[in-house]
Each structure stands twice: as structure tokens, then as C-alpha cells.
Structure 1
Amino acid sequence: MTLCFIFSEQASTMFLEQFNKGNGKKCFFSSLFITVVFTISFYWYENKTIRWRFEGLLRCSQEPSNVNDDVSPLDLLTDLAIGRMLYDKPQTFKPPRSDILMITPWLAPIIWNGSYNSDILNAQFHQRNVRIGITVFAIKKYTAFVKTFIKTAEQFFMVGYKVNYYVFTDRANDISNFTLPEGRQLVILKVPSYKRWQEVSMRRMEMIRDHAYQRFYKEVDYLVCVDVDMRFSDSVGVEILSDVFGTLHPGFYNAQRDHFTYERRQQSTAYIPTDEGDFYYAGGYFGGTVEEVYKLTNFCHNAMMTDQNNSLEAIWHDESYLNKYFLYHKPTKILSPEYLWDNGFDVPQFLQRRRFVAVPKNHNAIRNKRALQENHGYQK
């Protein structure tokens, strides 16, 4: 490029010399020729730079590295092996269950025991080599629940898949070391502590959003965001995965919409009128692709900050904003109460499995400064 400008400067000097000698016509054509040459040289340089950059991107993102212009990125895809599978034929007029709602009006499936075939799903998801991240927050004394959470997850959660356990904590030294099989790892993410448990609950959306933007998208394909004071008690697999999913709250799965504990103050960004609402979703179990979880958590955090600036706090904190989001951004899959249950409730007949259940605890002892008791019904 420097040579082009030197050439242009020399051309200008020649033009002035010719002009001063009175050779105007010859000078005009000479300057026109030089201008054309300069223009062609300039664009050749610029286009060559763009081409270098484009080819550099190809070399970084594709294999093999000797990609030429005639090769489409689709040519580099490898064929997936398809194995033979034997299972009962689906019956068009015989649904697997008729005692529960299995699909929403917007055609999102509701996942119950008996509504899917694990073998078929595993065959499909293993072909895609999916990576799953699961996030929990172990702030202050909630670190006591991490051991049981991970121990039971290793028995029942996404068995046979690559899993990252993302533990957000302000007490990294309190988290025990775990020996995990290949492809599964514990990732400790240090975060600040907050005085009020309500603020810890609400700040989860901000922290998940920020880490989704910074690192999760590079490490996993799906995120599952759950509470840490829980234990897995039955299989939880890829049947839950979708673009964005929510979970029916175990206390409101059969309630009328006017009984849902939505935020009812019109001043709040979480406000939902009494004549609106599909389901009441639990704040302790949601997820989806990293991109969709980022959008969800970004919406919830921004709505919280708007309310906070107006001295408002939604009635059920992050759960209230989650329900507002799902009302107008419908989940593509919904998990039944099997996936989030509290054994303090009577067990209804339709509940054939209890896959993820609350650990019995003294909430005051955990959330306040009183000592953590030994007899909470879980193993430390």
C-alpha cells in the first residue's frame, strides 16, 4: 500500500512538470492513466486483505486446513452412524397416558414417565455428542448440600454424557474434592456473598447470564439451572433437553390461574393479570440451550433492576420474573412435577416417579446465622 502512495506522489510531480512545459493534452492522458493504475492497485490491495482474513477464518474453524474456494463447509460434515433399534410401534389412537396433560396449546410436550423412550432419545443425543452444564448456587451454609447433590447426580443425572457441574460459591474451600469419571467435571465459580437470601436468589439470574456470555457457550451445549438443596432419586436424562424448558411447580400443578402466586402489583415489571397465565413455573428448575438461557436470564435480571430502581421487589423474587418471561416467551418443553418434588406433599396417584426431591432442612438455620443442625435428613 505504501508503494501505491509513493507511486501516486511521483505521478503528481510528473503531471506538474508536463503541465508547466505546456504539454497539456499529453499531460491529461498521462494523469488519467496514472489514476486508473492507482485505483486498480488500491482495490487489489484491499480485496487481497479481505481474502486473507476470510481464508484465515476458514483455517481456524474448519478441518482440514487446506480448504480451497471450491469446498463448501457442508462437504466437511461426517456421516453419523445409525444403529438398529427394536421397540414397540407407537399407536396413533392409543396415547401412552390419558390421566395427564401431555402437550400444551402451543405444542410443547410435557414430560411425564411413560411419555418417551429413553433408548431412542439416547441414540439421537449421543450422535450429537452433546455437552450439558448444570448450575447450582452454594452460598454461605448452602455449601453443606453440594456433596449430596453431586453424589446423587452421578447416580441419576445424564448418565453416560459429558457434564460440567458449575458450582457458584463464596466458600470455595468448603467444597469437597470429587473424583468424577472422564467427561464429567466440577467447576468452582467464586462469587460474592450477600446479606439477604432473597438477594442471593435474585442475583442468580445475573451470574448465570454473565457466565453464559463469558464461558458457558464455549464449554457446553445445554444448561440446566437448579437449586442445590436437592437430591436426585431417579433418572433424569436427555428427555428434559430443549431450546428452553421450565418445570411445573409442585405446589401449583393443578391450581387455577387466579390462585397462582404471580406478582399482582401493576407497578412491577413481573406483573401478570389474574386473567392471564398458563402454568406456575418453579424458579428452581429451568434450562435450555446456552443462547436461550442467556436471553431468559438477561430478561429477568434487567426486569429486577428496573423494579429495584423503583424500590420494588417481586413477591417471589427471581421466580416471579421467570414466570413473566415464560408467559410471553413460551417454553418449548415443560417438565412435570416428577422433576421437582417435595416429599412433604402427599404423593398423588399420577406421580409415578420422583426424580429430584427437596432435602429436608431447617430454613431458618440455613438462611440465618444460627448453627447448622446435624439432623436435617441428609448426609453431609
Structure 2
Amino acid sequence: MNAKRKLLLLIALALSLLLIMHRSQIKKNLEKIDYCRDQEKEEPQLSDWFNPKKRPDVITTTNWLAPVIWEGTYNRPVLEKYYKRLNITIGLAIICVPGKFSNQSLTEFIQSANKHFMFGYNVIFYILLDGFSTMPSIVLGPLRTFKLFLLVKSGIEKDFYFTYMTNLFNYIISHIQYEVNFLFVMNADQIFKDDFGVETLGKSVAQLSAWWYFKDGDTFPYERRSKSAAFIPFEEGDFYYHSAIFGGTVEEVLNLIEEYQKGVIQDIENQLSSIYEHHLNKYLFIKKPTKLLSPEYNWDPSFRTPPQIKCVKIAWQSKNI
């Protein structure tokens, strides 16, 4: 345990040093983006493209005034006109969980994303695998490309998400931050069914869980052990977020990963273990997301579809769980 703890502390120290070293570069990149935006038409106000009154049947605005994106609430052409002028690039890092991942699921995910994810924009798919021999053949349309990264094992080999996030953090620092304006992290066990467009872009974008949106908050499966870094007390919390989708600016994704790493290390020191989704929910409870995606953006088709779900953007593949 002492050796593992030392290794984890070294990993945390290395991540912190990398973040400090490159934070100034990230700031410069953001300043460049802001400068470009200043030279273009002013960014649309929320009221220019978002109308919460169009969906009185659901929650469309949080108590911290973040929009919840449902079908019918947004005017995508207004945003298209703005983002097209900026010539943005969106990254999509794909999580292939061992035991659930297969070449078929990855192929289906990428094929559907090629058709529906940010159509008409520059997109880079980032695929992290423990061996390139498992990579299926991929054919992409215009403005789309992919990059393969080797998944190097961490000090906690049984915790896949810790390994994945540690690797993703390093690749963001060394490569991804220089290539994209926004970055999404998504699980491969889902299929795009309809357009996932620029209405989803924001500083910090969280996905509402289809399994828990229509249930009482007291039943949310938060981490309830008080000694855990992911702890959320009963009668607290806003929503339950699904770990299958998270996105935002590069800096925000780095912040999430950094806090997640710290939480895992703290839990291990207290002889605890909590899943990635619990840490994600704790992070978003403390640092509220600036945009929420409704369950339409990640619906489980094995459920009876209620009338509130007007258009399924992504279907979760329960058969792979």
C-alpha cells in the first residue's frame, strides 16, 4: 500500500507540474480564440438562440441559470452562422471500456458519429487503445480525421478510468490542446441517431442521465460515504449526470481530470474506492456546468419512451453493459 501510495503521489505531482507548465500555453491559445471572436460578429446571446418557453413540459433552465438543451428549445442556424465564421475544430475522445468494448461497437459508434456529430465542422476523433492491432478499419467523411494514441497502464491497473484519464490528460497537454477549440469525452457504447450539433458547445457541458432524470433526487446513486472524495450528502445535489458524455473547453476538461485524479488518490489513502461517475457528479455539484444536455442526447432505448423525449440524439447500448 505504501509503494502504491507513493506511486500515486508521484503521478499526481507529475500531472500538477505538467498542468502548471502548460497552463500559460493554454491561456495563450484561449486568448487567440478570444481575439478571433472579437474580430468576428459578437457571440449570440442565450436569448438569441435558446427559448425555454418552447418546452414547458420539462426543466429547461437550472437554478444557476444554465440552459438545459431539449429538442425545440434551440435555434441551431443562429449558432451555425457564428461558429462557421470561427472555423472551429471539435475533438471527440472515445472511451473503449475493456469487457464492454468490441471492434463492432467502436465501428458503429464512429460511423454514426461521422454522420451526426458536428456535421459540417472540423472534427478529430481521438482513440486511445492498449494495442493498435485491435483498431478496426475506419472510413471518414470530409473535415473528419482520427488519431490513435497508445493507452499506457497506470499505477492502478484495475481502475480503467483512472488509467484512461491519466493518459488523456497527458495527450491533451502534449497534442490535443493545440488542435481543438472544444473537446468531448464519450463512451463508445452508444450510437448517434440524430444530429449532435453546435447547440451542445459550451465551457462545461454535462449529460443528464436518462436512468435518473425522471426519479426523485433522494434516490440518486451518489457516493454517500462521507470519507470519500466523491461524497454528496443526502438532500443535496442537483441532477445525476451520466459519465458517457462530458465536454467543454480544453481547460475545463483538464480541470475535471485533475480533480478526479485527486479524488481517486484521496480515496485510496482512506482505503476507499469510488467509480468515475461518482467523482464526475461531485465535480459538477461543486463546479456547476454551464450547459446541460437533456436525456434526449443519451437515451436508453430499452426504456419506454415518455412523451418528453421528442428526438433521440444518441442511443445508449444497454446490451453492452
Classify the TM-score, shorter chain: 0.7 to 0.9
Query: Does 1:336 find its partner at 2:261?
Result: no
Deviation of the 1:197 alpha carbon: 9.4
Matching residue of 1:191:
151
Query: Does 1:358 find its partner at 2:316?
Result: yes
- Given that residues 114 and 144 in structure 2 are in contact (C-alpha distance below 8 angstroms), is that contact kept between their aligned partners in structure 1? no
Q: Quick one: distance in 2 between partners of 1:324 and 1:102?
A: 22
Amino acid in structure 2 at the alignment position of 1:181: G
1:44-193 matches, cutoff 5 A? 80=40, 95-140=53-98, 142-144=101-103, 145-192=105-152
Deviation of the 1:205 alpha carbon: 2.7
Q: For residues 110 and 200 of structure 1, do their structure 2 counterparts lie closer, same or farther at Cα, with a shift above 3 Å needed?
A: same
Q: Quick one: distance in 1 between partners of 2:279 and 2:98?
A: 24
Q: Quick one: distance in 1 between partners of 2:147 and 2:221?
A: 35
Q: Quick one: distance in 2 between partners of 1:240 and 1:353?
A: 15
- Given that residues 41 and 82 in structure 2 are in contact (C-alpha distance below 8 angstroms), is that contact kept between their aligned partners in structure 1? no
Which whole-Å deviations, capped at 9, do the CAs of 1:272-330 have from their partners, x for residues lacking one? Answer: 0002100000111111000011001110111111112222111xx00000000011100
Which whole-Å deviations, capped at 9, do the CAs of 1:337-369 have from their partners, x for residues lacking one? Answer: 011111111111110011111235354xxxxxx
Higher relative contact order (CA 8 A, sep 6+): 2
Deviation of the 1:240 alpha carbon: 0.6
Q: Quick one: distance in 1 between partners of 2:106 and 2:113?
A: 10
Matching residue of 2:183:
223
Matching residue of 2:239:
279
Matching residue of 1:348:
306
- Given that residues 49 and 79 in structure 2 are in contact (C-alpha distance below 8 angstroms), is that contact kept between their aligned partners in structure 1? no
Query: Does 1:264 find its partner at 2:224?
Result: yes
- Structure 1: state its 5+ residue gaps: 1-60, 62-73, 83-88, 364-380
Q: For residues 77 and 185 of structure 1, do their structure 2 counterparts lie closer, same or farther at Cα, with a shift above 3 Å needed?
A: closer
Decide which of 255, 261, 264 is 2:215's aligned counterpart.
255
Q: Quick one: distance in 2 between partners of 1:133 and 1:212?
A: 10
SS in 1 for 2:319: coil
Matching residue of 1:291:
251
Please report the RMSD computed on the Cα atoms of aligned residues, expressed in angstroms.
2.8
Larger radius of gyration, structure 1 or 2?
1
Q: What is the aligned length?
A: 282
Q: For residues 77 and 95 of structure 1, do their structure 2 counterparts lie closer, same or farther at Cα, with a shift above 3 Å needed?
A: closer
Matching residue of 1:323:
281
Deviation of the 1:146 alpha carbon: 1.3
Amino acid in structure 1 at the alignment position of 2:285: L
Deviation of the 1:137 alpha carbon: 2.2
Task: Give the TM-score of the pair, scaled to structure 1.
Answer: 0.69
